[in-house]
Amino acid sequence: MHVLLIHQAFVTPEDGGGTRHYELFRHASEHGHRATVVTSGFDYLSRRDRKSNANPEPWITVHRTTSVPPTKTDFISQLRQLLSFAAGAIPKAMSVSDVDVVMGTSPSIFQALSAWVVSVLKRKPFLLEIRDLWPDFIIGMGKLKNPFAIAVARGLERFLYSRADHVLVNSPAYVDHLLSKGIPRERISLIPNGVETDTFGPGPARDAAARAFRERYGVSDKFVVMYTGAISPANDIGVVLRAADQLRDLHNVQFLIVGDGKIRGELEAEAARMSLDNVTFTGAQPKASMPDILAASDVCLAILQNIPEFRLTYPNKVFDYLAAARPIALAIDGVIRQVVEDAGAGVFVQPGDPEALAAAIRSFAADPARGRAMGERGRDYVALKFDRRAHGLEFSNLLEERSEVA
């Protein structure tokens, strides 16, 4: 089966960011499926043109389109970029032949609309994937306030739900959300976020790479607290800076912020203004390097703004942390808290509370053996519950079911 995916932020392991779709398609290829992806040539994390190999494997073809790069970090500039990609993706997708299923993914909801248009024109089933609850998240964060714009966004959301032949979600809480919208349970499938557990396994080569990474950033003798991923308003890194400010007396503790995003510059300037010598920004790193990078940490951070909508999400990074056998300081409530606590793999702190986060880091630094034990429990748990190979089989079965229905 040939799947056509429209996904502005699709990445391969050579890029920074989540590789959910690359990995799902790779495992689905073992069952005879192949994919074509229409994506942007602009990297939303680094805010630069992408340079990685566009067609890395025989089972996947990647077409990159041009889109208007955001000149500012404001919402209107970001919206213009999303709309320009959504418009440009349609003709590019229409040029792809022999398609069996058209898949759209949200966020953003505009690219999902493009996928629906293509599915109609090609007369193929439309598989809608919901990875974030858009527009709920941007409304909850206060980025979308205009009542008319909210009504339009809600209407577009309802339209796509009603037109999708099937809806795929990556968090169990999203199933309940869709049911509340009137979507029948039989039209919903859950394939949660997860991880390629084997790629994070320990070994001498990994230990050497981790030592090299620590040496590169001058933290060989430090207790390393690491955050990885996007640096955006949603990620609340300002709270991390304020926690670091309260830990100045722990001279052996160093925070590494591994990632990039539209407010990285602002946060680096704020860290400099606060004279936070215990915080280092490394910039974006390829996903393929993440196992080595995470092996260089002593504890990992997962944090989001304190809004109710984020209690429903399964952040990618948490599963990477678990697979890397690293304890987690978790400043996100809800379903992902349940995962970490069920695994016995970390400590929950109230989102938006720098004092609580600083206290959690103190406790980890005071008892590294406790953290290592948490990390080992987390790795065992994620290998059992959230391994990507099993998810790839579920995805393959879902594709075959869609083909039979069509």
How far, CA to CA in Å, does 294 sit from each of 85, 176, 194, 327, 373? 33, 33, 16, 11, 16
What is the per-residue pLDDT for 166? 96
CATH code reported for the domain at 2-194+387-405: 3.40.50.2000
Q: What is the mean pLDDT of residues 34-49?
A: 78
What is the per-residue pLDDT for 252? 96
Distance (Å, whole) CA 231 – CA 227: 10
Cα-to-chain-centroid distance, residue 379? 19
Q: How far apart are the first and last CA of the chain?
A: 12
DSSP string over 34-49: EEEEEEESEETTTTEE
Burial of 233 (0-12, 13-18, 19+ CB in 10 A): middle
Over residues 163-190, the pLDDT tens digits come to 999 999 999 999 999 999 999 999 999 9
Over residues 79-136, the pLDDT tens digits come to 788 888 999 999 999 999 999 999 999 988 999 999 999 999 999 999 999 999 888 8
Over residues 335-392, the pLDDT tens digits come to 999 999 999 999 999 999 999 999 999 999 999 999 999 999 999 999 999 999 999 9
In this prediction, residue 405 has a pLDDT band, given cuts at 50, 70 and 90, of low
Q: In the chain, helix, strand, coil percent, each to 5?
A: 50, 20, 35
Residue 388 near residue 195, CB atoms below 8 Å: yes
| 333: amino acid identity, one letter | D
Q: Where are the alpha helices (DSSP H) in 167-203?
A: 172-180
* Residues contacting 188, CB < 8 A, separation 6+: 166, 167, 168, 169, 175, 178, 179
Same fold, 2-194+387-405 and 197-385: yes
| CATH superfamily name and code, 197-385 | Glycogen Phosphorylase B; (3.40.50.2000)
What is the per-residue pLDDT for 45? 59
Q: Where are the alpha helices (DSSP H) in 126-171?
A: 136-140, 147-163
Residue 345 near residue 375, CB atoms below 8 Å: yes
3-class secondary structure, 281 = strand
DSSP string over 289-350: GHHHHHTT-SEEEEE--S-GGGGG---HHHHHHHHTT--EEEE--SHHHHHHHHHT-EEE--
What is the per-residue pLDDT for 151? 92
Residue 297 near residue 205, CB atoms below 8 Å: no
Residue ranges of the domains in the chain? 2-194+387-405, 197-385
In total, the chain counts a number of residues equal to 406
How far, CA to CA in Å, does 126 sit from each of 65, 160, 161, 178, 247? 21, 10, 10, 17, 51
**pTM for this prediction:** 0.92
